[in-house]
Amino acid sequence: MDVKVGVPGLETTLPLMLTQVRKNQLSLAQAVQLLAEKPAEIYGLNEYGSLEQGKNADLTIVDFNQKFKIDASKFKSKAKYSPYDGWEVAGKPVKTIVNGLLVFDEGEIVC
């Protein structure tokens, strides 16, 4: 079996969760808790997980209204597969800022 390295789900988790927010299956606050607050808490990363003074302002800017189809062949990860390939989702990440630096912009890794 030839399994490629990479992290399947890395590029789909946020849009899948935001799609559930749009469908009122999940609140935006619950999505933030699941994707940011709880992981930071579990791993003891006190400087992450929320936007507060004194914490790292790592964030992803999302176009909540933009719909798109998941296309695993275009993933940045080496894992070019997904059980969600072809699914239509809403809420496209458009920019990511890490340590104050723009690292992802409109589909391209820039740093």
- Long-range pairs, 36-41, Cβ under 8 A, ≥24: none
Q: How far apart are CA 77 and CA 100, in angstroms?
A: 23
Residues 6+ apart with CB under 8 A from 59: 51, 96, 97
Model pTM score: 0.84
Q: What is the pLDDT of residue 6?
A: 67
> Is it the case that residue 2 has pLDDT exceeding 80?
no
H-run or E-run covering 15: helix 13-22
> Is it the case that residue 49 has pLDDT exceeding 70?
yes
Q: What is the pLDDT of residue 8?
A: 73
Cβ atoms of 104 and 96 closer than 8 Å: yes
pLDDT one-digit tens code per residue, 56-85: 879 999 999 999 999 999 988 888 889 999
- Long-range pairs, 30-34, Cβ under 8 A, ≥24: none
Quick one: pLDDT band at residue 98, thresholds 50, 70, 90?
A: very high
Taking residues 39-56, what's their average pLDDT? Answer: 91
SS3 65: strand
Quick one: pLDDT band at residue 4, thresholds 50, 70, 90?
A: low
